[in-house]
Each structure stands twice: as C-alpha cells, then as structure tokens.
Amino acid sequence: MTDRPALDVVIVNWNGGGLLRACLTSLAAAQDAAAVQVTVVDNASTDGSIETLPALPRPLRLIRNATNLGFGRACDQGAAAGDAPAILFLNPDTQVAPDALGVALAALMADPRTGIVGARLVEPDGRTARSCARTPSALGLLGRALALDRLGLLRPHFLLEWDHAADRAVDQVMGAFLMIRRDLFRMLGGFDPRFFVYWEDADLCARTRAAGFSVRHVAGAVARHLGQGTTRQVRARRLFYFLRSQILYAGKHHGVAAALALTAASFGAQVPLRLALALARRSPGEAAEVLRAAGLLAAALPGLVPDLLGSARARAAG
C-alpha cells in the first residue's frame, strides 16, 4: 500500500511474549485496520516475542534495537518512521476494542485545540481503571512520597473519585493508550529521552497543556489493559526507574529544590515504607528487590545532576 495511513500505531516491545501477539491481533481486527500503520520498536528482547507475529492489513514495520533504549526514546524512533497525521502510542499489554481506534481518532480531530486523547482502560476483571491523573505539583509529589495521600491528607495522583464513564478534559492520560497529533508531537520534540520509563507520559501531557492544547479522556474508546505486563519480571529496576523518573520530573517542572526534597523522601520514606510492607508480608525476596532498587538509585544520583542542572537552566531561560 502506498496511500498515507490515517493513524500510526507505535508499540514498544521488551520481552512482551504472547502479550504483543494478542495486542497485534486486536489491531488486525480493528475497524478500518487497513488505514492503520503499525510499527513495533523492539528494545533488544530475548524471549523470541518478535519472531512470529500475526499478519496485519498493512505490512508491519519492525525496528530492532541492539540494546534497550528505554520507552521514550523507542517511542520517538517509532514515531519518526511514520507520517500519519496522528500517532497512537500503545502498550503491548493492551487489546483494543474493534472501534477504539476510530472513536479516539475522531475525538482527536474534532477540535484543533485537542492535542492528546486517551482511552477508557479496562482491567482483566472488567473494571474500568482509574487511569487519568492530576498534574503533580511539587507539594503533591513530595506529599505522596511521604504517603500523605494514603492517610487522606492529600488528593491521590489518579482521579480515583471519578468513574471515567464520560468524556472530559483531564490533566493527564496514561501512556498505555496515548494518541497525539503528529504536528504537535513534532513541535514538542517528542518524548523526553531522559525518562527511561515512567513519568514520560505525565511530562508529555504537561507540555501539551502548557502549549495551549487540551488532553481528553474518551470513554467510548475502550482497551483492555493488563498493567505492568512486561515490567513485572524486573521488580527492582521497575521501582528504580519509577523513583528516578519522578525525581527528573520534579526537577524539570518544579526546580532543583523540589528534586532534592523528593530524593530525600525517596530514601527516607518511600523505600523504608516499601521495605516494611514487604517484611510485613513475609516476603524476603520482595524486600531484597526494594533494597536493590535503592542501591541502583543511589548509584544513579551522580548522573542525575547534569540533567537537573540542565532543567534549571532551561526553566531560568524560559
């Protein structure tokens, strides 16, 4: 096919196994699948998950990385390979409903000031996930690191009080299903590659809103979402990257002081709390993973300094 697709779907895979195949099968069954170009960016998988993939109406575009470049950089790779007017970043642990792509694309293009749309994510047990979130303030980031939200002293990051049953503008949609206008994505410079994984979707949504575009939840676009489907196998690194990325986010959007405070809270509250919970569950393996994540974060701190200083200079210049 030589005609321009209406939508580019970018899937970043890392040892996705059968999840990736199920995701692609759902895309092949989507309405207007012939107008969709799918690109899989594989981050050095070792499980053979990209060897036998289902057929799609348009030939699958496959990009193989020799090393794991991280989610954000791989998304940028996949986006650069296409030219459709809209891009959907889709996790391999999702399965889209037959009309989900068309419903989401129509909502994105209905208003030129809509920059990003997200889908209603449904958990394996059929419940609607509370996947939309608030833009985190500096105090919000610190308070949640201190578990104040669990004590009812701070609003949670995700919109748990809302059933996600209707369309509405939100601060942030989850990167598991994030559709964006290509021209906007290009204008924003894509995902920030400093976020290896986690918080890159919050950063992109924050920059979208700062540029004057809205972010919308589209309840009629439905996707089944397993959640943490490919990162369950690396718990220590998953926690490490989450903590590292939230520190980067704090530094980028709220300054060095906020990043330093969050770093202290990570070691002084988040890690001890997770360790205590693991020990309370009598799970020495989980406790060991928490300690390993803390060690990885401590080792990574010197490398974060240039990024934090760079963000401080950018904030001062902007």
Count the Cβ atoms, other than its own, within 10 Å of residue 313. 10
Asked whether residue 102 carries a pLDDT value surpassing 50, the answer given is yes
- Residue 134 inside a domain? The answer is no
The reply to whether 178 and 51 lie within a common domain is yes
Q: What angle do CA 220, 226, 228 make, to 5 degrees?
A: 125
- Identify whether the C-beta of residue 90 lies closer than 8 Å to the C-beta of residue 176: yes
> What confidence tens digit (pLDDT) does each residue in 52-87 have?
899 999 999 999 999 999 999 999 999 999 999 999
Classify the phi-psi angles of 174: left when phi > 0, otherwise alpha if psi is within -120 to 50, otherwise beta. Answer: beta
For tokens 């290896």, the residue is: 196
Q: What is the pLDDT of residue 1?
A: 47
Calpha distance 294→152 (Å, rounded) = 26
Count the Cβ atoms, other than its own, within 10 Å of residue 219. 18
- Residue 144 inside a domain? The answer is no
The reply to whether 63 and 197 lie within a common domain is yes
Domain with 101, as residue range(s), is 7-129+164-230
Residues ≥6 apart with Cβ < 8 Å to 264: none
- Residue 140 inside a domain? The answer is no
- Identify whether the C-beta of residue 59 lies closer than 8 Å to the C-beta of residue 145: no
Looking up residue 98, the CATH number of its domain turns out to be 3.90.550.10
The reply to whether 216 and 184 lie within a common domain is yes
Of the chain, the end-to-end C-alpha distance in Å amounts to 44
> What confidence tens digit (pLDDT) does each residue in 247-265 have?
999 999 999 999 999 999 9
Residues ≥6 apart with Cβ < 8 Å to 124: 224, 226
Q: What is the pLDDT of residue 192?
A: 96
- Identify whether the C-beta of residue 131 lies closer than 8 Å to the C-beta of residue 176: yes
The reply to whether 241 and 297 lie within a common domain is yes
Instruction: Indicate the pLDDT class of residue 314, thresholds 50, 70 and 90.
Output: confident
- Residue 137 inside a domain? The answer is no
The reply to whether 247 and 274 lie within a common domain is yes
The reply to whether 266 and 282 lie within a common domain is yes
Instruction: Indicate the pLDDT class of residue 228, thresholds 50, 70 and 90.
Output: low
Instruction: Indicate the pLDDT class of residue 229, thresholds 50, 70 and 90.
Output: low
What are the backbone dihedrals phi and psi of residue 237, each rounded to the nearest 5 degrees, phi first?
Answer: -70, -35
**What is the number of domains present in the chain?**
2
